[in-house]
Structures are given as C-alpha cells and as structure tokens.
Amino acid sequence: KNTNSSSSTQSSLPDGATTGENNTQFRCEVCGERFTNEENRNIHRSGHYNNPFRR
C-alpha cells in the first residue's frame, strides 16, 4: 500500500516542468501569446487559420 500521496502528483508532471505562473515556454508564432504546454498552443494556433467567422 502506497501512503505517499505526493508521488502520484509529481509523477503527472513531465521532467523539468513546474507549476509556476511564469512557465510559459510554448509561444504562438502568429500573435506571441504564451502557453504552458504545446498542445494548448497548437489548439490556439489553429484558430488563427481555421476561424470560420473571420472576415
């Protein structure tokens, strides 16, 4: 039985990742907005090109 609750929390973070506010290493090349993970940046970035409401 594992009673160390911190091990499961820490293992969910990738190596070198922190939970600080300034850990924004993924930048949108279009507008410069910064994100804490690559997937969120990619989703955001796709909106620059695939926005059906853009004129």
Residue 14 maps to a domain: no
**What is the tally of structural domains in the chain?**
1
The pLDDT assigned to 16 comes to 44
Task: Please give the structure tokens belonging to residue 15.
Answer: 């190596």
Predicted local distance difference test score (pLDDT) of residue 28: 95
Q: For residue 50, is it within any domain?
A: yes
Which pLDDT score is estimated for 8? 44
**CA-CA-CA-CA dihedral for 40, 15, 5, 22, to nearest 10:** -50
Full domain range(s) for residue 26: 21-55
pLDDT at 50: 78
Instruction: Give pLDDT, residue 49.
Output: 85
Q: How far apart (Å, rounded) are the C-alpha atoms in residues 9 and 4?
A: 10
- Could you list the pLDDT tens digit for every one of the 55 residues in the chain? 555 554 444 456 555 455 555 567 999 999 999 999 999 999 999 999 876 665 5
